A and B are shown apart, each in its own frame.
Chain A
Amino acid sequence: MENDLGWWAVPLAVLGGAIRVSTPILFVSLGEMLTERSGRINLGLEGTLVFGAMAGYATAVITGDPWAGVLLAALAGAVFGLVHGLICSMARVNDIAIGIAMMLLGTGLAFYFGKPFIQPVAPDLPSIPFGWWSEVPQVQAALNVNVLFLAGIAAALVLHWGLRSTRPGLILRVVGDSTDAARAMGLRPAVIRTMATALGGAFAGVGGAYLSLFYPGSWNEGISSGQGLMAVALVIFARWQPVNCFWAALLFGGAGALGPALQSVGVTEGYYLFYAAPYVLTLGVLIATSSPNRALAGAPGELSITK
């Protein structure tokens, strides 16, 4: 058996890593995209992600069913989103600052309640071995795709269709583009934004459950490396389009997998610099796509960060 792939191991590991690492980023960014399309920004999804990871893991440990964990993580995420949405509906309350506070509270609560669950082992989410045709273990490892990754693709497609061709999608877009127009149509922007934030929170919760129940697949306090925050920038990069969110998440996942992949073939120089690759990429994208004179193309009109 010839398993020494040499340098070929790098792109293969990056591909596999992109698929593995991108799934939580995809879910959080879809959630953030939904929230932002309604005209609000939720910086607290980082906290939601971490709490979802804890809640999902704890539920899976207790019930023995990882899917129950995913469900509870989604519910917990929806509650966090609901709280964010309701508070932001109050007069003069800054959605960015509330997001930072929710990030602090979410991670704090997750660490508080998560202490007893650092040791126990939870059952993993199932994955599908798309690499069965190959004899090379690296190929098999790279193509061992989790069910949630496929669910994320499906969600991106459904959201794409939903935003474009359904009545709720139209309502969301109107509320996001103009509070006045929405009011004139007899809509209640605050209620719709709160609902969108809650749904967005549920997505982030599922992203968290993936982290603790599949990859890296355990619960600890360093589980998130800022995916919830990266998602905020990623959504801008993706121009608030669900399908673009998928491609962007894949790109970010690949960038994040570059360091470990190079390390596996013996390149350890600059490991920490490769670790920074997704953040540098995000910043570069923001700089390249922003403009001081006009709002970003495709940005919801009511969004505070791009106005």
Chain B
Amino acid sequence: MAVVEAQGTGGGAMAALRRAEPVVIPVLALLAGLAVFALFLLTQGKSPIAFFGYVWQGAFGSAFSWMNTLSRAAPLLLAALCVALPARLGLVVIGGEGAIVLGGLAAGAVALPLAGVPAAVGLPLMALAAMLVGAVWIGMAGALRHYRGVNETISSLLLAYIAIALMNHLVEGPLRDPESLNKPSTAPLAEGLRVGMLPGMDVHWGLVFGIIACVVAWVLVERTSWGFAARIAGGNVRAAEVQGLPVGRLILGFTALGGACAGLAGFFEVAAVHGSANASLAAGYGYTGILIAFLARHNGLAILPVAVLLAGFDASSGLIQRRMDLPDATMQVLQGIVFMAILMSDAAYGRLPFFKAKG
């Protein structure tokens, strides 16, 4: 963006400054959002200093809180990719929650006949089923967009509602374990089909796969010809079509890939956290993922720190509720304000005097 304005006047220093713009502006916007939230807390008679102190303590202050934060970050990394990948094509997909829910359900259902199978065979099959279902679900929004011109934002959201209804139907009906009384669930996974913890940590393997997925997504988008084509199409669809780029295949591929990531998040929720598929799958990770992707400007590597930050806010929520007598929705208010600030900062690109080319 800013590169277009480069006039070669300032030399290396100016170029470096301009490269810093996409990092500095979101960080400034994040700080501005936190400042507005601090004002909100002051109007509520609460101390922002105490608030952020508890966030630090609850999220990053000890080994225990780090484990808590990283556990929460694992599904968020994958959920954010479900938004970030299609976003590089200019698509706003916000229905990742549906792919998480159905992915988790698929993993739980596939595990049923696999009870005696070794983990090395069973777990990949479950993960594959989850990713496939997620890919189909979000890919459907991409296909509808490409073949029928249906807006992907709305269709993906409707599909998320349908997915949750479908999950409830199957979990209460055909797939229900008669033993699960209070909370209808699929039958618990066989002991061999549970995903364990990382060595020496209280965090499951989903974190590692989430990090790998983010790095792979970054390489795909920034360093391959597919990613290059996707970015062209995201900038201008007509131009991409004139250039002969396969826009349709790109849309289908990137939405399906995003959906597969979300489905994988569902797999880890079932295999590493809940032990069976039930309504806990609809925990809102898909929606937090939207915020993370936008904060990270849909950059796979930037998703890593942003997801950890958001997971940290989430992890400290309980402590803040207890110590400061604030409702759980406080974190949602914080997220909303930060989200608004980030989106408003889009207006600042190329405008801040600091980054303006002189001459």
Contact A43 B153 (CB under 8 A): yes
- Cα-based distance from A177 to B331 in the complex (angstroms): 39
A105 within 8 A of B: yes
- Cα distance A115–B333 when bound, in Å? 14
Q: Which of A95-118 contact B (CB under 8 A)?
A: 96-98, 100-102, 104-112, 115
Q: A234-264 vs B: 1/0 string, CB under 8 Å?
A: 0000000000000000000000000000000
Q: Which of B94, B150, B159, B162 has the most CB of A within 10 A?
A: B150
A153 to chain B, nearest CB (A): 26
Task: Verify A92–B158 contact, CB threshold 8 A.
Answer: no
The dominant DSSP class at the A interface is: helix
Q: B155 in the interface, Cβ–Cβ < 8 Å?
A: yes
Give chain A residues whose Cβ lies under 8 Å from the Cβ of B153: 43, 96, 305
Residue B116 CB within 8 A of the other chain: no
Asked whether any CB of chain A lies closer than 8 Å to the CB of B344, the reply is yes
Q: Does A1 contact B (CB under 8 A)?
A: no
> Is B23's beta carbon under 8 Å from chain A?
no
Q: Please measure, in the bound complex, the distance between the C-alpha atom of A305 and the C-alpha atom of B92, giving whole angstroms.
A: 11
| CB <8 Å contact, B294 and A292 | no
Contact assessment for B340 and A102 in the assembled complex, using a CB-CB cutoff below 8 Å: yes
Instruction: With a 10 A CB-CB cut-off, give which of B94, B158, B161, B166 has the most chain A CB atoms.
Output: B158
Contact present for A229 and B144 (CB under 8 Å): no
Q: How far is the CB of B337 from chain A (nearest CB, A)?
A: 6
Q: Do A93 and B148 have beta carbons less than 8 Å apart?
A: no
| A151 close to chain B: CB less than 8 A | no
State whether B148 touches A94 (Cβ < 8 A): no
A8 CB to nearest chain B CB (Å): 27
Within 8 A of B (CB), among A256-307: 269-273, 275-276, 279-280, 282-283, 286-287, 290-293, 305-306
The reply on A91 being an interface residue by CB < 8 A is yes
Known: A271-B172, A290-B149. 4 other contacts (CB 8 A): A109-B333, A233-B154, A279-B162, A283-B162
User: With A292-B146, A292-B147 given, is the CB distance from A111 to B332 under 8 Å?
Assistant: yes
The smallest beta-carbon distance between A272 and chain B, in angstroms, is 4
Partner of B349, one of A92, A226, A292, A293: A92
